[in-house]
Chain A
Protein backbone atom coordinates (compact mmCIF):
# COMPACT_ATOMS: atom_id res chain seq x y z
CA UNK A 1 0.00 0.00 0.00
CA UNK A 2 1.28 3.49 -0.79
CA UNK A 3 1.25 6.26 1.78
CA UNK A 4 -1.45 8.06 -0.29
CA UNK A 5 -3.88 5.32 0.63
CA UNK A 6 -3.18 5.65 4.34
CA UNK A 7 -5.89 7.59 6.15
CA UNK A 8 -4.40 6.82 9.55
CA UNK A 9 -0.72 6.37 10.30
CA UNK A 10 0.36 5.67 13.85
CA UNK A 11 3.87 5.19 15.12
CA UNK A 12 4.78 4.01 18.63
CA UNK A 13 1.42 5.07 20.03
CA UNK A 14 1.36 4.90 23.84
CA UNK A 15 -1.50 5.85 26.15
CA UNK A 16 -1.03 5.77 29.90
CA UNK A 17 -3.81 6.39 32.37
CA UNK A 18 -3.21 6.71 36.10
CA UNK A 19 0.14 4.96 35.74
CA UNK A 20 -1.20 2.01 33.72
CA UNK A 21 -0.08 1.42 30.16
CA UNK A 22 -3.29 1.01 28.15
CA UNK A 23 -1.78 1.17 24.66
CA UNK A 24 1.79 -0.09 24.44
CA UNK A 25 3.59 1.34 21.43
CA UNK A 26 1.22 0.67 18.52
CA UNK A 27 2.46 1.18 14.95
CA UNK A 28 -0.12 0.67 12.21
CA UNK A 29 -1.78 2.05 9.09
CA UNK A 30 -5.45 2.23 8.16
CA UNK A 31 -5.97 2.48 4.41
CA UNK A 32 -8.73 4.15 2.44
CA UNK A 33 -11.27 1.90 0.73
CA UNK A 34 -11.11 -0.96 3.21
CA UNK A 35 -12.77 -2.21 6.36
CA UNK A 36 -10.13 -2.66 9.03
CA UNK A 37 -11.23 -4.81 11.95
CA UNK A 38 -9.93 -4.19 15.47
CA UNK A 39 -10.42 -7.49 17.25
CA UNK A 40 -9.62 -8.46 20.78
CA UNK A 41 -11.12 -9.32 24.16
CA UNK A 42 -12.98 -6.76 26.26
CA UNK A 43 -10.61 -4.48 28.14
CA UNK A 44 -7.67 -4.96 25.75
CA UNK A 45 -7.61 -1.27 24.77
CA UNK A 46 -9.80 -1.17 21.63
CA UNK A 47 -11.96 1.72 22.86
CA UNK A 48 -8.94 3.67 24.13
CA UNK A 49 -7.26 3.31 20.73
CA UNK A 50 -10.40 4.58 18.99
CA UNK A 51 -10.77 7.48 21.42
CA UNK A 52 -7.12 8.43 20.88
CA UNK A 53 -7.66 8.48 17.10
CA UNK A 54 -10.75 10.72 17.28
CA UNK A 55 -8.95 13.07 19.67
CA UNK A 56 -10.89 12.61 22.92
CA UNK A 57 -8.07 10.66 24.59
CA UNK A 58 -4.68 12.30 25.02
CA UNK A 59 -1.74 10.41 23.55
CA UNK A 60 1.14 9.94 26.00
CA UNK A 61 3.90 9.04 23.52
CA UNK A 62 4.30 8.43 19.83
CA UNK A 63 2.13 9.94 17.14
CA UNK A 64 -0.99 9.36 15.11
CA UNK A 65 -1.80 11.29 11.96
CA UNK A 66 -5.22 11.23 10.30
CA UNK A 67 -5.57 12.60 6.77
CA UNK A 68 -2.18 14.21 7.26
CA UNK A 69 -3.14 16.02 10.47
CA UNK A 70 -2.32 15.06 14.07
CA UNK A 71 -5.13 13.22 15.92
CA UNK A 72 -7.48 15.68 17.60
CA UNK A 73 -6.79 18.52 15.13
CA UNK A 74 -9.85 20.82 14.88
CA UNK A 75 -10.03 20.37 11.10
CA UNK A 76 -10.53 16.63 11.56
CA UNK A 77 -13.70 17.03 13.60
CA UNK A 78 -16.00 17.20 10.56
CA UNK A 79 -14.10 14.53 8.61
CA UNK A 80 -13.98 11.72 11.15
CA UNK A 81 -17.20 9.94 12.16
CA UNK A 82 -17.18 8.23 15.55
CA UNK A 83 -19.80 5.92 17.02
CA UNK A 84 -19.32 4.99 20.65
CA UNK A 85 -20.32 1.61 22.04
CA UNK A 86 -23.26 3.08 23.95
CA UNK A 87 -25.10 5.23 21.43
CA UNK A 88 -24.44 8.80 22.57
CA UNK A 89 -27.64 10.42 21.33
CA UNK A 90 -30.45 12.41 22.94
CA UNK A 91 -33.08 9.85 23.95
CA UNK A 92 -35.48 12.67 24.82
CA UNK A 93 -35.51 13.90 21.21
CA UNK A 94 -37.03 12.31 18.12
CA UNK A 95 -34.82 10.59 15.54
CA UNK A 96 -35.09 13.48 13.10
CA UNK A 97 -34.38 16.09 15.81
CA UNK A 98 -31.21 14.20 16.76
CA UNK A 99 -29.97 13.91 13.19
CA UNK A 100 -30.80 17.51 12.27
CA UNK A 101 -28.98 18.84 15.33
CA UNK A 102 -25.84 16.72 14.87
CA UNK A 103 -25.94 17.44 11.11
CA UNK A 104 -25.99 21.19 11.80
CA UNK A 105 -23.05 20.80 14.17
CA UNK A 106 -21.20 18.98 11.36
CA UNK A 107 -21.69 22.01 9.12
CA UNK A 108 -24.60 20.78 6.99
CA UNK A 109 -27.30 23.35 6.19
CA UNK A 110 -30.62 23.60 4.33
CA UNK A 111 -31.20 21.11 1.48
CA UNK A 112 -27.81 19.46 2.07
CA UNK A 113 -28.80 18.73 5.67
CA UNK A 114 -32.21 17.35 4.69
CA UNK A 115 -30.68 15.17 1.96
CA UNK A 116 -28.03 13.77 4.30
CA UNK A 117 -30.61 13.05 7.03
CA UNK A 118 -33.01 11.33 4.60
CA UNK A 119 -30.25 9.25 3.01
CA UNK A 120 -28.82 8.20 6.38
CA UNK A 121 -32.25 7.18 7.73
CA UNK A 122 -32.87 5.11 4.59
CA UNK A 123 -29.49 3.41 4.60
CA UNK A 124 -29.87 2.34 8.24
CA UNK A 125 -33.42 1.08 7.69
CA UNK A 126 -34.93 3.55 10.16
CA UNK A 127 -37.62 4.85 7.79
CA UNK A 128 -40.95 5.44 9.56
CA UNK A 129 -39.32 6.15 12.93
CA UNK A 130 -38.40 9.78 12.17
CA UNK A 131 -40.90 11.40 14.53
CA UNK A 132 -40.61 8.91 17.38
CA UNK A 133 -38.73 9.68 20.57
CA UNK A 134 -35.46 7.75 20.63
CA UNK A 135 -36.25 6.61 24.20
CA UNK A 136 -38.98 4.37 22.73
CA UNK A 137 -36.57 2.61 20.32
CA UNK A 138 -35.53 -1.02 20.65
CA UNK A 139 -31.89 -1.84 21.38
CA UNK A 140 -31.13 -2.53 17.72
CA UNK A 141 -32.82 0.67 16.56
CA UNK A 142 -30.98 2.70 19.19
CA UNK A 143 -27.61 1.28 18.10
CA UNK A 144 -28.40 2.34 14.53
CA UNK A 145 -29.21 5.91 15.64
CA UNK A 146 -25.70 6.12 17.08
CA UNK A 147 -24.31 4.85 13.78
CA UNK A 148 -26.48 7.26 11.82
CA UNK A 149 -24.94 10.25 13.59
CA UNK A 150 -21.45 8.96 12.77
CA UNK A 151 -22.36 8.56 9.07
CA UNK A 152 -24.16 11.92 8.69
CA UNK A 153 -21.29 14.11 7.62
CA UNK A 154 -20.00 11.63 4.98
CA UNK A 155 -16.70 11.31 6.87
CA UNK A 156 -13.45 10.18 5.25
CA UNK A 157 -12.74 7.99 8.27
CA UNK A 158 -15.35 6.09 10.24
CA UNK A 159 -14.41 4.82 13.68
CA UNK A 160 -17.08 2.42 14.93
CA UNK A 161 -16.82 0.91 18.40
CA UNK A 162 -18.57 -2.50 18.51
CA UNK A 163 -21.31 -1.36 16.12
CA UNK A 164 -22.93 -4.76 15.66
CA UNK A 165 -22.85 -6.15 19.19
CA UNK A 166 -26.21 -7.49 20.30
CA UNK A 167 -27.88 -7.03 16.91
CA UNK A 168 -29.82 -9.76 15.14
CA UNK A 169 -28.06 -11.72 12.34
CA UNK A 170 -30.00 -10.10 9.47
CA UNK A 171 -29.23 -6.62 10.68
CA UNK A 172 -25.59 -7.51 11.22
CA UNK A 173 -25.29 -8.85 7.69
CA UNK A 174 -26.91 -5.65 6.31
CA UNK A 175 -24.64 -3.38 8.34
CA UNK A 176 -21.50 -5.22 7.21
CA UNK A 177 -22.71 -4.91 3.62
CA UNK A 178 -23.11 -1.17 4.20
CA UNK A 179 -19.63 -0.88 5.73
CA UNK A 180 -18.18 -2.45 2.57
CA UNK A 181 -20.25 -0.13 0.34
CA UNK A 182 -18.87 2.87 2.25
CA UNK A 183 -15.35 1.51 1.88
CA UNK A 184 -15.91 0.98 -1.84
CA UNK A 185 -16.95 4.62 -2.15
CA UNK A 186 -13.56 5.66 -0.75
CA UNK A 187 -13.95 5.90 3.02
CA UNK A 188 -11.67 4.21 5.53
CA UNK A 189 -13.38 2.22 8.27
CA UNK A 190 -12.07 1.01 11.59
CA UNK A 191 -14.57 -1.37 13.18
CA UNK A 192 -13.99 -2.99 16.56
CA UNK A 193 -15.46 -6.20 17.88
CA UNK A 194 -14.78 -8.75 20.58
CA UNK A 195 -16.70 -11.40 18.63
CA UNK A 196 -14.28 -13.38 16.47
CA UNK A 197 -16.86 -14.47 13.89
CA UNK A 198 -16.96 -10.85 12.73
CA UNK A 199 -13.27 -10.94 11.92
CA UNK A 200 -13.83 -12.83 8.67
CA UNK A 201 -15.98 -9.95 7.38
CA UNK A 202 -13.05 -7.51 7.50
CA UNK A 203 -10.57 -6.77 4.72
CA UNK A 204 -7.72 -6.36 7.15
CA UNK A 205 -7.31 -7.29 10.80
CA UNK A 206 -5.64 -5.79 13.83
CA UNK A 207 -5.58 -8.49 16.52
CA UNK A 208 -5.16 -6.83 19.90
CA UNK A 209 -4.43 -8.09 23.39
CA UNK A 210 -3.33 -6.21 26.51
CA UNK A 211 -2.61 -3.00 24.60
CA UNK A 212 -0.43 -4.64 21.92
CA UNK A 213 -1.07 -6.04 18.47
CA UNK A 214 -0.70 -9.80 18.07
CA UNK A 215 -1.05 -9.58 14.29
CA UNK A 216 -1.76 -7.09 11.52
CA UNK A 217 -2.75 -8.76 8.26
CA UNK A 218 -5.66 -9.76 6.01
CA UNK A 219 -7.73 -12.69 7.44
CA UNK A 220 -6.43 -15.23 4.88
CA UNK A 221 -2.86 -14.26 5.64
CA UNK A 222 -3.43 -14.73 9.39
CA UNK A 223 -4.97 -18.18 8.81
CA UNK A 224 -2.08 -19.19 6.55
CA UNK A 225 0.57 -17.96 8.96
CA UNK A 226 -0.92 -19.62 12.06
CA UNK A 227 -2.10 -22.78 10.29
CA UNK A 228 -5.40 -22.41 12.18
CA UNK A 229 -8.72 -23.33 10.57
CA UNK A 230 -10.67 -20.47 12.14
CA UNK A 231 -9.80 -16.90 13.07
CA UNK A 232 -10.79 -17.58 16.67
CA UNK A 233 -8.33 -20.45 16.75
CA UNK A 234 -5.72 -18.24 15.10
CA UNK A 235 -6.21 -15.57 17.77
CA UNK A 236 -5.74 -18.14 20.54
CA UNK A 237 -2.56 -19.47 18.96
CA UNK A 238 -1.19 -15.95 18.58
CA UNK A 239 -2.18 -15.01 22.13
CA UNK A 240 -0.17 -17.83 23.69
CA UNK A 241 1.74 -19.90 21.15
CA UNK A 242 3.45 -22.07 23.74
CA UNK A 243 0.46 -22.88 25.91
CA UNK A 244 -2.08 -25.62 25.28
CA UNK A 245 -5.44 -24.57 23.93
CA UNK A 246 -7.28 -25.96 26.95
CA UNK A 247 -5.82 -23.29 29.23
CA UNK A 248 -7.43 -20.64 27.03
CA UNK A 249 -10.93 -21.99 27.28
CA UNK A 250 -12.06 -18.78 28.99
CA UNK A 251 -10.76 -16.44 26.30
CA UNK A 252 -13.42 -14.92 24.06
Chain B
Protein backbone atom coordinates (compact mmCIF):
# COMPACT_ATOMS: atom_id res chain seq x y z
CA UNK B 1 0.00 0.00 0.00
CA UNK B 2 3.03 2.31 0.02
CA UNK B 3 2.11 4.08 -3.18
CA UNK B 4 -1.59 4.21 -2.61
CA UNK B 5 -1.29 5.75 0.84
CA UNK B 6 1.83 7.93 0.60
CA UNK B 7 1.36 9.53 -2.78
CA UNK B 8 -2.37 10.09 -2.66
CA UNK B 9 -2.01 12.90 -0.12
CA UNK B 10 0.36 14.86 -2.38
CA UNK B 11 -0.66 18.42 -3.28
CA UNK B 12 -1.75 19.14 -6.82
CA UNK B 13 -2.55 22.09 -9.03
CA UNK B 14 -6.25 22.77 -8.70
CA UNK B 15 -6.64 25.75 -10.98
CA UNK B 16 -5.58 26.46 -14.55
CA UNK B 17 -1.89 27.35 -14.82
CA UNK B 18 -0.84 30.87 -15.88
CA UNK B 19 0.56 31.22 -19.43
CA UNK B 20 4.15 31.30 -18.20
CA UNK B 21 5.30 29.75 -14.94
CA UNK B 22 8.90 30.66 -14.01
CA UNK B 23 9.16 27.48 -11.92
CA UNK B 24 8.14 25.23 -14.83
CA UNK B 25 10.27 27.13 -17.38
CA UNK B 26 13.36 26.81 -15.16
CA UNK B 27 12.60 23.14 -14.43
CA UNK B 28 12.43 22.57 -18.19
CA UNK B 29 15.71 24.47 -18.72
CA UNK B 30 17.39 22.35 -16.02
CA UNK B 31 16.04 19.22 -17.67
CA UNK B 32 17.43 20.22 -21.09
CA UNK B 33 20.81 21.07 -19.53
CA UNK B 34 20.83 17.73 -17.67
CA UNK B 35 20.25 15.95 -21.00
CA UNK B 36 23.24 17.84 -22.42
CA UNK B 37 25.35 17.01 -19.37
CA UNK B 38 24.82 13.30 -20.01
CA UNK B 39 26.07 13.81 -23.57
CA UNK B 40 29.58 15.31 -23.18
CA UNK B 41 30.48 14.77 -26.82
CA UNK B 42 27.66 17.04 -27.95
CA UNK B 43 28.66 19.69 -25.40
CA UNK B 44 32.27 19.63 -26.59
CA UNK B 45 31.16 19.95 -30.20
CA UNK B 46 28.77 22.82 -29.46
CA UNK B 47 31.50 24.73 -27.61
CA UNK B 48 34.44 23.89 -29.88
CA UNK B 49 33.08 23.81 -33.42
CA UNK B 50 32.63 27.61 -33.88
CA UNK B 51 36.18 28.16 -32.61
CA UNK B 52 37.64 25.44 -34.83
CA UNK B 53 35.91 27.04 -37.82
CA UNK B 54 37.33 30.46 -36.86
CA UNK B 55 40.82 28.99 -36.63
CA UNK B 56 40.28 27.44 -40.04
CA UNK B 57 39.09 30.80 -41.41
CA UNK B 58 42.20 32.51 -40.08
CA UNK B 59 44.49 30.11 -41.96
CA UNK B 60 42.34 30.03 -45.11
CA UNK B 61 42.41 33.82 -45.39
CA UNK B 62 46.00 34.03 -44.10
CA UNK B 63 45.78 37.83 -44.18
CA UNK B 64 45.28 39.94 -41.00
CA UNK B 65 43.39 42.71 -42.82
CA UNK B 66 40.91 40.32 -44.46
CA UNK B 67 40.51 38.37 -41.20
CA UNK B 68 39.65 41.58 -39.32
CA UNK B 69 37.01 42.37 -41.93
CA UNK B 70 35.31 38.97 -42.03
CA UNK B 71 35.87 37.46 -38.57
CA UNK B 72 33.22 39.47 -36.63
CA UNK B 73 30.44 38.44 -39.02
CA UNK B 74 31.45 34.79 -38.77
CA UNK B 75 31.51 35.01 -34.96
CA UNK B 76 27.77 35.70 -35.33
CA UNK B 77 27.06 33.17 -38.09
CA UNK B 78 28.70 29.99 -36.74
CA UNK B 79 26.77 29.90 -33.41
CA UNK B 80 23.55 30.81 -35.32
CA UNK B 81 23.94 27.79 -37.59
CA UNK B 82 24.88 25.37 -34.80
CA UNK B 83 22.04 26.47 -32.51
CA UNK B 84 19.56 26.14 -35.38
CA UNK B 85 20.46 22.54 -36.10
CA UNK B 86 20.79 21.45 -32.45
CA UNK B 87 17.40 22.91 -31.52
CA UNK B 88 15.62 21.60 -34.60
CA UNK B 89 16.83 18.05 -33.88
CA UNK B 90 16.19 18.21 -30.12
CA UNK B 91 12.59 19.34 -30.49
CA UNK B 92 11.93 16.91 -33.34
CA UNK B 93 13.23 14.13 -31.06
CA UNK B 94 10.88 15.30 -28.31
CA UNK B 95 7.96 14.98 -30.72
CA UNK B 96 9.04 11.58 -32.10
CA UNK B 97 9.62 10.00 -28.66
CA UNK B 98 6.20 10.99 -27.37
CA UNK B 99 7.54 13.09 -24.50
CA UNK B 100 6.03 16.20 -26.09
CA UNK B 101 2.60 14.56 -26.15
CA UNK B 102 3.04 13.47 -22.54
CA UNK B 103 3.96 17.03 -21.52
CA UNK B 104 1.00 18.43 -23.46
CA UNK B 105 -1.29 16.09 -21.48
CA UNK B 106 0.25 17.48 -18.26
CA UNK B 107 -0.12 20.93 -16.68
CA UNK B 108 2.80 22.44 -18.63
CA UNK B 109 2.20 25.62 -20.63
CA UNK B 110 3.50 25.81 -24.19
CA UNK B 111 5.38 28.98 -23.24
CA UNK B 112 6.92 27.16 -20.24
CA UNK B 113 8.38 24.63 -22.64
CA UNK B 114 9.65 27.20 -25.16
CA UNK B 115 11.04 29.50 -22.47
CA UNK B 116 12.79 26.50 -20.90
CA UNK B 117 14.45 25.66 -24.19
CA UNK B 118 15.35 29.33 -24.77
CA UNK B 119 16.92 29.60 -21.29
CA UNK B 120 18.95 26.39 -21.60
CA UNK B 121 20.20 26.96 -25.12
CA UNK B 122 20.69 30.69 -24.45
CA UNK B 123 23.10 29.71 -21.67
CA UNK B 124 24.94 27.33 -23.99
CA UNK B 125 25.08 30.13 -26.61
CA UNK B 126 26.74 32.46 -24.06
CA UNK B 127 29.47 29.88 -23.39
CA UNK B 128 29.87 29.14 -27.09
CA UNK B 129 30.28 32.83 -28.00
CA UNK B 130 32.64 33.49 -25.09
CA UNK B 131 34.97 30.71 -26.23
CA UNK B 132 35.02 31.81 -29.87
CA UNK B 133 35.47 35.49 -28.93
CA UNK B 134 38.36 34.84 -26.56
CA UNK B 135 40.17 32.63 -29.09
CA UNK B 136 39.59 35.13 -31.92
CA UNK B 137 40.73 38.18 -29.96
CA UNK B 138 43.81 36.56 -28.41
CA UNK B 139 45.27 33.68 -30.42
CA UNK B 140 43.95 34.66 -33.85
CA UNK B 141 44.78 38.35 -33.37
CA UNK B 142 41.43 39.82 -34.44
CA UNK B 143 41.28 43.49 -33.34
CA UNK B 144 38.18 45.54 -32.60
CA UNK B 145 37.83 49.34 -32.58
CA UNK B 146 36.17 49.27 -29.16
CA UNK B 147 35.01 46.90 -26.44
CA UNK B 148 34.25 43.25 -27.25
CA UNK B 149 31.07 43.31 -25.15
CA UNK B 150 28.62 44.63 -27.82
CA UNK B 151 29.99 42.06 -30.29
CA UNK B 152 29.55 39.30 -27.72
CA UNK B 153 26.01 40.37 -26.83
CA UNK B 154 24.90 40.54 -30.47
CA UNK B 155 26.56 37.18 -31.21
CA UNK B 156 24.53 35.61 -28.36
CA UNK B 157 21.37 37.23 -29.78
CA UNK B 158 22.25 35.71 -33.16
CA UNK B 159 22.62 32.29 -31.55
CA UNK B 160 19.27 32.69 -29.76
CA UNK B 161 17.71 33.70 -33.09
CA UNK B 162 19.11 30.50 -34.65
CA UNK B 163 17.61 28.53 -31.74
CA UNK B 164 14.18 30.16 -32.13
CA UNK B 165 14.14 29.49 -35.88
CA UNK B 166 15.21 25.89 -35.24
CA UNK B 167 12.32 25.43 -32.78
CA UNK B 168 9.89 26.81 -35.33
CA UNK B 169 11.31 24.80 -38.24
CA UNK B 170 11.18 21.53 -36.29
CA UNK B 171 7.37 21.72 -36.33
CA UNK B 172 7.49 21.09 -40.07
CA UNK B 173 9.80 18.07 -39.86
CA UNK B 174 8.15 14.64 -39.76
CA UNK B 175 11.44 12.89 -39.01
CA UNK B 176 14.93 13.63 -37.77
CA UNK B 177 16.10 13.05 -41.34
CA UNK B 178 13.96 15.96 -42.54
CA UNK B 179 15.03 18.12 -39.59
CA UNK B 180 18.70 17.66 -40.54
CA UNK B 181 17.94 18.81 -44.07
CA UNK B 182 16.36 22.02 -42.82
CA UNK B 183 19.90 23.18 -42.12
CA UNK B 184 20.81 23.50 -45.81
CA UNK B 185 17.22 24.42 -46.75
CA UNK B 186 16.69 27.24 -44.21
CA UNK B 187 20.19 28.35 -43.32
CA UNK B 188 22.37 28.15 -46.44
CA UNK B 189 20.17 30.50 -48.56
CA UNK B 190 20.39 33.03 -45.76
CA UNK B 191 24.18 32.61 -45.62
CA UNK B 192 24.38 33.23 -49.39
CA UNK B 193 22.14 36.32 -49.24
CA UNK B 194 23.25 37.97 -46.00
CA UNK B 195 26.08 39.96 -47.56
CA UNK B 196 28.87 37.78 -46.28
CA UNK B 197 29.88 36.26 -49.62
CA UNK B 198 28.76 39.04 -51.98
CA UNK B 199 28.18 42.56 -50.57
CA UNK B 200 24.48 43.40 -50.52
CA UNK B 201 24.82 46.49 -52.73
CA UNK B 202 26.24 44.28 -55.51
CA UNK B 203 23.08 42.12 -55.61
CA UNK B 204 20.28 42.42 -58.18
CA UNK B 205 17.08 44.10 -56.96
CA UNK B 206 15.20 40.85 -56.41
CA UNK B 207 18.08 39.29 -54.47
CA UNK B 208 18.50 42.35 -52.28
CA UNK B 209 14.74 42.29 -51.52
CA UNK B 210 15.10 38.66 -50.54
CA UNK B 211 18.12 39.59 -48.47
CA UNK B 212 16.05 42.31 -46.74
CA UNK B 213 13.46 39.86 -45.43
CA UNK B 214 15.88 37.24 -44.09
CA UNK B 215 16.89 37.46 -40.42
CA UNK B 216 20.56 36.46 -40.81
CA UNK B 217 21.13 39.61 -42.92
CA UNK B 218 20.51 41.77 -39.86
CA UNK B 219 22.65 39.56 -37.65
CA UNK B 220 25.60 39.88 -40.01
CA UNK B 221 25.00 43.61 -40.58
CA UNK B 222 25.06 44.30 -36.84
CA UNK B 223 28.29 42.35 -36.37
CA UNK B 224 29.96 44.17 -39.28
CA UNK B 225 28.85 47.61 -38.06
CA UNK B 226 30.13 46.90 -34.54
CA UNK B 227 33.54 45.93 -35.91
CA UNK B 228 33.66 48.99 -38.20
CA UNK B 229 33.21 51.75 -35.64
CA UNK B 230 33.89 52.22 -31.95
CA UNK B 231 30.54 53.81 -31.10
CA UNK B 232 27.08 52.25 -31.06
CA UNK B 233 24.81 53.84 -33.69
CA UNK B 234 21.10 53.90 -34.49
CA UNK B 235 21.73 51.42 -37.33
CA UNK B 236 22.99 48.85 -34.81
CA UNK B 237 19.95 49.45 -32.60
CA UNK B 238 17.70 48.90 -35.61
CA UNK B 239 19.51 45.63 -36.47
CA UNK B 240 19.17 44.37 -32.89
CA UNK B 241 15.46 45.29 -32.89
CA UNK B 242 14.93 43.28 -36.08
CA UNK B 243 16.85 40.29 -34.64
CA UNK B 244 14.74 40.44 -31.47
CA UNK B 245 11.52 40.73 -33.48
CA UNK B 246 12.40 37.67 -35.59
CA UNK B 247 13.28 35.74 -32.41
CA UNK B 248 9.97 36.57 -30.72
CA UNK B 249 8.01 35.86 -33.91
CA UNK B 250 9.71 32.45 -34.30
CA UNK B 251 9.02 31.58 -30.64
CA UNK B 252 5.36 32.61 -30.95
CA UNK B 253 5.17 30.66 -34.22
CA UNK B 254 6.70 27.69 -32.38
CA UNK B 255 4.05 27.98 -29.64
CA UNK B 256 1.29 28.03 -32.25
CA UNK B 257 2.61 24.86 -33.87
CA UNK B 258 2.61 23.00 -30.53
CA UNK B 259 -0.81 21.38 -30.45
CA UNK B 260 -2.27 19.78 -27.37
CA UNK B 261 -4.43 17.45 -29.43
CA UNK B 262 -4.47 15.87 -32.87
CA UNK B 263 -7.50 16.09 -35.15
Q: Is the CB of A105 within 8 A of B27?
A: yes
Chain A residue contacts of B28, Cβ below 8 A: 101
A58 & B4 in contact (Cβ 8 Å cutoff): no
Q: Determine if A184 and B105 form an interchain contact, defined as CB atoms under 8 angstroms apart.
A: no
Determine which residue in B17, B23, B261 has the highest number of CB atoms from chain A within 10 A of its CB, and name it: B261
Inter-subunit contact A106/B38 (CB<8 Å): no
Are B97 and A88 closer than 8 Å at their CB atoms? Answer: yes
- Bound Cα distance from A54 to B102, whole angstroms: 10
Cβ–Cβ contact B11 & A123, under 8 A: no
Q: Which of A2-10, A149-157, A214-222 contacts B (4 or more CB under 8 A)?
A: A149-157
Q: Which of A89, A119, A120, A133 neighbours the largest number of chain B CB atoms within 10 Å of its CB? A: A119
Cβ–Cβ contact B105 & A154, under 8 A: no
Q: Which residues of the other chain, A, contact B201 by a CB distance below 8 angstroms? A: none
Q: Quick one: which of A92-119 are within 8 Å of B by CB?
A: 92-94, 97, 101-102, 104-109, 112, 115-116, 119
CA distance A102 to B3 in the complex (A): 17
B12 adjacent to chain A (CB < 8 Å): yes
Q: Contact residues of B with A, CB < 8 Å?
A: 1-17, 23-24, 27-28, 30-31, 34-35, 38-39, 97-99, 101-108, 260-263
The answer on a CB contact under 8 Å between A97 and B99 is: no
Taking a contact as CB atoms closer than 8 A, the residue among B17, B31, B106, B263 that contacts A93 in the complex is B31
Inter-chain contacts of B261 with A (CB < 8 A): 55-58, 72
Residues in chain B near residue A133, CB distance under 8 A: 38
Q: Is the CB of A92 within 8 A of B104?
A: no
**CB under 8 Å from chain B, chain A span 55-69:** 55-58
User: Contacting B263 at CB < 8 Å: which of A58, A86, A152?
Assistant: A58
Interface size of A as a range: 35 or more
Q: Is the CB of B11 within 8 A of A151?
A: no
Contact partners of A186 in chain B: CB under 8 A: 8
A122 to B6, CA, bound (A): 11
Determine if B12 and A90 form an interchain contact, defined as CB atoms under 8 angstroms apart: no
A225 at the interface (CB under 8 A from B): no
Whether B11 and A107, one on each chain, are in contact in the complex, defined by CB atoms closer than 8 angstroms, is yes
Q: Are B5 and A185 in contact (CB under 8 A)?
A: yes
**Across the interface, which residues of B come within 8 angstroms of A184, CB to CB?**
4
Are B7 and A154 within 8 A (Cβ)? yes
The residues of B that contact A17 with a CB separation of less than 8 Å are 263
What's the Cα separation between A42 and B1 when bound, in Å? 33
Closest 6 CB pairs of A and B: A88-B98, A123-B3, A185-B4, A107-B13, A119-B6, A154-B7
Is the pair A119, B3 in contact by a Cβ cutoff of 8 Å? yes
List of B residues within 8 angstroms of A92 by Cβ: 35, 38-39
Given contacts A77-B107, A90-B99, are A182 and B3 in contact (CB under 8 A)?
Answer: yes
The reply to whether B101 and A88 contact each other, CB–CB distance below 8 Å, is yes
Nearest-neighbour CB distance to chain A for B89, whole angstroms, equals 13
B contact residues around A102 at 8 Å (CB): 102, 106
- Can you identify 9 A-B contacts, CB atoms within 8 angstroms? A77-B105, A80-B105, A88-B102, A97-B31, A101-B27, A119-B6, A122-B2, A185-B1, A185-B4
Q: Contact: B7 with A93, CB < 8 Å?
A: no
The answer to whether A97 and B108 have CB atoms under 8 Å apart is no
**A51, A58, A101, A115 — which one has the most chain B CB atoms within 10 A of its CB?**
A101
Q: Tell me the complex Cα distance, A75–B262, Å.
A: 19
Contact present for A75 and B16 (CB under 8 Å): yes
Of chain A, the residue at the smallest CB distance from B26 is: A104
When the two chains form the complex, which single residue of A105, A108, A120 contacts B108, counting CB atoms closer than 8 Å? A105
Residue A82 lies at the interface, judged by CB distance under 8 Å to chain B: yes
- A182→B8 CA distance, assembly (Å): 9
Are A154's CB and B16's CB within 8 A? no
> Could you say which of A56, A74, A104, A151 contacts B16, with CB atoms under 8 Å apart?
A74
Q: Mark A148-167, 1 if CB is under 8 A from B, else 0.
A: 01011110000000000000
User: Which of B39, B101, B103, B263 is in CB contact (< 8 Å) with A105?
Assistant: B103
Given contacts A90-B31, A92-B35, A185-B1, A151 and B105 within 8 Å (CB-CB): no
Q: Mark A125-155, 1 if CB is under 8 A from B, else 0.
A: 0000000010000000000000001011110
Min Cβ gap A102→B in Å is 7
A237 → chain B, closest Cβ, in Å? 35
Q: How far is the CA of A220 from the CA of B17 in the complex (A)?
A: 44
Nearest-Cβ distance from residue B167 to partner chain A, whole angstroms: 18
Contact B107 A119 (CB under 8 A): no
Please name all residues of chain A whose beta carbon is closer than 8 Å to the beta carbon of B104 when the two chains form the complex: 56
A181 touches B3 (CB 8 A): yes
Chain A residues with Cβ below 8 Å from B38 are 92-94, 133
Task: Contacts A54-B105, A56-B105, A88-B102 given; indicate if A181 touches B4 (C-beta within 8 A).
Answer: yes
Residues A115 and B31 in contact, CB atoms below 8 Å apart: no
Is A201 engaged at the interface, CB distance under 8 Å to the other chain?
no
**Given A58-B261, A106-B107: A84 and B31 within 8 A (CB)?**
no
Contact among A116, A154, A181 with B1 in the assembled complex (CB-CB below 8 Å): A181
